[in-house]
Structure 1
Amino acid sequence: MLPLLTSNQIREADAYTIAHEPVTSIDLMERASKAFVGWFINHFQDKQQSIAVYCGTGNNGGDGLAIARLLVDHGYTQLSVIITRFSDKASSDFNTNLNLIKATNIPVTELTHVADDYSESASLIIDAMLGSGLNKPLTGHYQTLVKCLNCLNKTTVAVDVPTGFYTDGEIATGALVLRVDLVITFQQPKINFLLPESGPHINCFEVVDIGLSQEFINEVNTPYYYVQERDIRAIAKPRKHFSNKGTYGHALVIAGKDETMGAVLLASSACAHVGAGLTTACVPQSGLVALNSAMPEVMALLRKQGELPDIEWDKYSVIAVGPGLGTEDGTLQLLKAVFENYTKPVVIDADALNVLSKHQELLNKIPAGSILTPHMKEFDRLFGLHHNWWQRIQTAKKKAQEMGLNIILKNDYTITATPEGRLYFNATGNPAMATGGMGDVLTGVITGLLAQKYTPEDACLLGVYLHGRAGDELALPNRMHVVLPQYVIQQLPATMAKLTA
């Protein structure tokens, strides 16, 4: 897992690298600038395009000055530098790079103030004004400048972090940030890049390695981690010779009602496709024909009016409950019965979560190691209103620890909070998957993995990654605008085979 660092820890990593490599700070800045330029020149190949590099007077501005100089060395001819000198402060590395750029023919303009009608003629802007150290909202001339630049229809690329954006901590609704098409960020994603508050400000980001000490990064005390493919390959287990359906467990999916059989069909189908040896769906009598027609591989356990039939609880390796159940009194009774009779981890989703939010006394009856899979609104119903995603992930971390549960908080970079107090950000998935029923598929995937004796944490990490990766393998190569849940289910066995190859 890649540890994700706060802005303070990133500065500590810089300092550690400088002290222990050893390398001078100006040489580390040059290395970062070369990494930026290496990515930039491979993707912005028009060397006649007009480019304006906006530089603050700190180290992010020093990066910008070095980038401008290196771009000219690579043959970019229509380039200018604008220095935002809105205070008397300047870092020593900025001053060093300023002296270097003055020895070139690059035109340099210094801004000491900005009017409300400020404009920029270049077609592409490189933003190197404030970087990762910002810890308060933009004011004064920076506020005016960013407002003006946001009104222009320019391609904008940020160096490491867009001006006005916090790398970690709470971002206020309506915060003023320079809107950028791309961030070329150093060493690793910034934590807030992975939260929805980044959406209005950042279209996409790319990470370039600048050689910070991996030893320091691996040892840093952080609860935040980014899940990578190599981590998932270490978790995923191939199927072995001489195994049989009993080897891979028996899952029970309690879901669906007369009007919502689609939810249980998707969840139980995903459970079977991800490899559960046996899958049983507990469904209303009216759903039997639909289940037998759509998924003959799935067995049926019939219930009446929300009441559970007699269940041999020890027969099942894992139970999932919630998709399409509704929030009537019958669902409450179903949940009580599960929590009273079953001691292994349970996967709890959808309407089961909504019922729990109204009956909080049941939260402390959930079996240890269970997995909650809320989207944002379900999460807030369970744990109270949150004003931003930073607040949500802190609550998820706290509640997972207090309750001994795993919480999967779904978004673009779905976050898994574990009882050990860690927050894992998932790297797979795409907007084509934003369609009804996709959460039911995820519930089935995780349930199927638990049936196969994956630990709850591993089932969360592998399940979320596998679910998103299957969607990526469908949407991205085929340029699909929408990927329906049923096609993700069908892709699961092939995607799992690749991960275990």
Structure 2
Amino acid sequence: MKIFTAEQIRNGDQYTIKNEPVLSIQLMERAAQTCVDWIFENCKNHRNFAVFCGSGNNGGDGFAIARMLYLKGFDVDVFTNQKAKFSPDANSNFKDLKEISGISIRELKEAKDYRFDNRTVIIDALFGTGLSRNLDGEFKNLIEFLNLKNNIKISIDLPTGLFADDISPVDSAIFKADYTLSFQFWKKTFLHPESGKYTGKVQILDINLSSDYISETETNDFVIDDEVVKNIFRIRSEFSHKGTYGKATIVGGSYGKIGAAVLATKSALKTGAGLTFTLAPKCGYETLQTSNPEAMFIEGGIDFVNNFQVDEKTIYGIGPGLGTNEETAKSFLKFLKEYSKPLILDADALNIISQDKKNLKLIPEKSIITPHPKEFERLFGATENSFKRLELAKSKAKELKIYIVLKDHHTQVVTPEGKVFYNITGNSGLAKGGSGDVLTGILTSFLAQNYSEEESALLGVWFHGKAAEFASEKHSKESMLPTDVINEFGDVFAKLNAKLERAL
């Protein structure tokens, strides 16, 4: 799915109005109806809605939602500035609302005297994407007041106070929603930690904007959704053999950190690599052979790896539990000077590279590196926030001609061409040591199976997150382990295969 800016979305509205054709008020009605359908399905135990409406089209959505909720039998109170100059469509819906005697229309300032009982849902339709400045005065005070309420809070299209395309200043007043009902597209700010914390759970509602406009409008920002994955994943041919699915070699482990290599190796095996090897120190031999008997062991040292073997016929995933021993670092950097094929670099492999900025140029072109924010900082320097970090990642991916998988709540895959793909699978259960080792195994395996570097990265992060969702359903986010995630790989593949088979 494409991610559009607020301006592109407004242009999409106008294109749809002109070319469908449909009246703007009808498009607003369509958007409001999709919200009401979702609210009716998910808020059946709540009887009262307090709807806060601005003077623009977001407020117009709110007026229409209030009317439709009332007609479905809910009690509705609307708060707005009745003396404001409304947009034409908002004004039309406000007039329709005033004709319904059962809906109470109040001034915004009356909210402080309103009784918000535990069955009242607060709906925010104040500004949406129309806001281009920090809230102040009456609106700032209102948002700060509403945020103190324990009621369920729903934002329409975008929480009030939040910018659609960039980070809001630290001291901004922003409505903190439990749910955000957004029209047609993800907004960029939904996907960054500093701003995404205000959206709650995001629901993307299809309002049938022009498919021609969507396909023809260019962007460099995308969401990795099911459609993207379906276009990448390939069903296994019945007439295939182990040589068809490549050779993967996990390089990692050191005394006390063999478990990381175990996780990465098991992950590579379970995601379908034809042949899987583990290059690790001798101290991990018994553990690795016992835990992963399907993988072959290559001795790379005694207590740490100090002998990196160059094999141009394998795909390397280097870093899990590797350590940064001086001999390990020396051997690894020598290996990078001699090896030219794309590979996967994570964890201590990145930490070794970060010891000298000159080492960055040793990373083979088209390689995939998978830093978490702190590792990224050690590699490329500190940034003010995640938006700035992403811009730096785009610059470095282009400069080094590599793929950067920037791990975060919504992991970003950054391509050398400047495209950014946000992953929306996964959950906070992955915030545990070992999760990155699992991802390294997945990426190494997919690259070995002749998926392209971009395909491997997109499919890999989506797959990792999807398995984590399944694991959390069985074990909870708190209790799930990286091994639980690996154990869900079969179910993810089963669902992928079933989807593709139905499509044939």
Matched residue SS, 1:3: coil
Match of 1:98 among 87, 94, 98: 94
Matched with 1:40 is: 39
The answer to whether the Cα contact below 8 Å between 1:14 and 1:212 also exists between their aligned partners in 2 is yes
Distance 2:181 2:166 in 1: 21
Is 1:340 aligned with 2:341?
Answer: no
1:285/1:58 Cα in 2 relative to 1: closer, same or farther (>3 Å)?
same
Shift in Å at residue 302 of structure 1? 1.3
| Residues 355-395 of structure 1, C-alpha deviations (whole Å, 9 max, x = no match) | 22221101112111100101111112222212222112222
Is 1:453 aligned with 2:450?
Answer: yes
| Residues 48-73 of structure 1, C-alpha deviations (whole Å, 9 max, x = no match) | x2221100111101110111111111
Shift in Å at residue 194 of structure 1? 1.5
Match of 1:472 among 463, 469, 472: 469
Q: Any stretches of 5+ residues in structure 1 without a counterpart?
A: none
The answer to whether the Cα contact below 8 Å between 2:152 and 2:178 also exists between their aligned partners in 1 is yes
| Residues 413-465 of structure 1, C-alpha deviations (whole Å, 9 max, x = no match) | 21111112111111211222322101100000000111111110000011111
Please give the residue correspondences for 1:307-456 in structure 2 after superposition, counting only pairs within 5 Å.
308-309=306-307, 311-316=309-314, 318-456=315-453
The answer to whether the Cα contact below 8 Å between 2:429 and 2:476 also exists between their aligned partners in 1 is no
Shift in Å at residue 171 of structure 1? 2.9
| Letter of the structure 2 residue corresponding to residue 38 of structure 1 | D
The answer to whether the Cα contact below 8 Å between 2:300 and 2:308 also exists between their aligned partners in 1 is no
Shift in Å at residue 162 of structure 1? 0.9
Distance 1:306 1:82 in 2: 66
1:461/1:445 Cα in 2 relative to 1: closer, same or farther (>3 Å)?
same
| Residues 126-178 of structure 1, C-alpha deviations (whole Å, 9 max, x = no match) | 11001112222211111111111111222111111111111111233353211
Distance 1:166 1:91 in 2: 20
Matched with 1:121 is: 116
The answer to whether the Cα contact below 8 Å between 2:254 and 2:305 also exists between their aligned partners in 1 is no
Shift in Å at residue 500 of structure 1? 2.9
Matched residue SS, 1:26: helix
Shift in Å at residue 118 of structure 1? 6.2
1:312/1:206 Cα in 2 relative to 1: closer, same or farther (>3 Å)?
closer
Match of 1:52 among 50, 53, 59: 50
Distance 2:395 2:497 in 1: 33
Matched with 1:29 is: 28
Distance 1:187 1:100 in 2: 26
Matched length: 494
Matched residue SS, 1:489: helix
Please give the residue correspondences for 1:164-243 in structure 2 after superposition, counting only pairs within 5 Å.
164-243=161-240
Matched with 2:502 is: none
Distance 1:387 1:118 in 2: 40
Shift in Å at residue 120 of structure 1? 5.0
Matched with 2:104 is: 107
1:20/1:242 Cα in 2 relative to 1: closer, same or farther (>3 Å)?
closer
The answer to whether the Cα contact below 8 Å between 2:275 and 2:295 also exists between their aligned partners in 1 is yes
TM-score by length of 1: 0.94
Greater Cα shift, 167-176 or 117-126: 117-126
Shift in Å at residue 262 of structure 1? 0.7
The answer to whether the Cα contact below 8 Å between 1:84 and 1:129 also exists between their aligned partners in 2 is no
Matched with 1:14 is: 13
Greater Cα shift, 477-486 or 119-128: 477-486
Shift in Å at residue 289 of structure 1? 1.4
Identity %: 39
Q: CA RMSD in A?
A: 2.0
Please give the residue correspondences for 1:263-342 in structure 2 after superposition, counting only pairs within 5 Å.
263-304=260-301, 306=304, 308-309=306-307, 311-316=309-314, 318-342=315-339
Matched residue SS, 1:226: strand
| Residues 72-92 of structure 1, C-alpha deviations (whole Å, 9 max, x = no match) | 11111x21111046x854211
| Residues 307-338 of structure 1, C-alpha deviations (whole Å, 9 max, x = no match) | 5437252242x111111112232332233122
Is 1:498 aligned with 2:495?
Answer: yes
Match of 1:141 among 135, 138, 142: 138
Distance 1:296 1:151 in 2: 56
| Letter of the structure 1 residue corresponding to residue 50 of structure 2 | A
Is 1:163 aligned with 2:172?
Answer: no
Distance 1:266 1:233 in 2: 26
Distance 1:296 1:262 in 2: 15
| Letter of the structure 1 residue corresponding to residue 61 of structure 2 | D
Greater Cα shift, 209-218 or 442-451: 209-218
1:141/1:480 Cα in 2 relative to 1: closer, same or farther (>3 Å)?
closer
Q: Any stretches of 5+ residues in structure 2 without a counterpart?
A: 499-504
Distance 1:478 1:291 in 2: 26
Runs of 4+ with deviation above 6 angstroms: none
Distance 1:31 1:430 in 2: 32
The answer to whether the Cα contact below 8 Å between 1:433 and 1:482 also exists between their aligned partners in 2 is no
1:100/1:199 Cα in 2 relative to 1: closer, same or farther (>3 Å)?
same
TM-score by length of 2: 0.93
The answer to whether the Cα contact below 8 Å between 1:313 and 1:341 also exists between their aligned partners in 2 is no
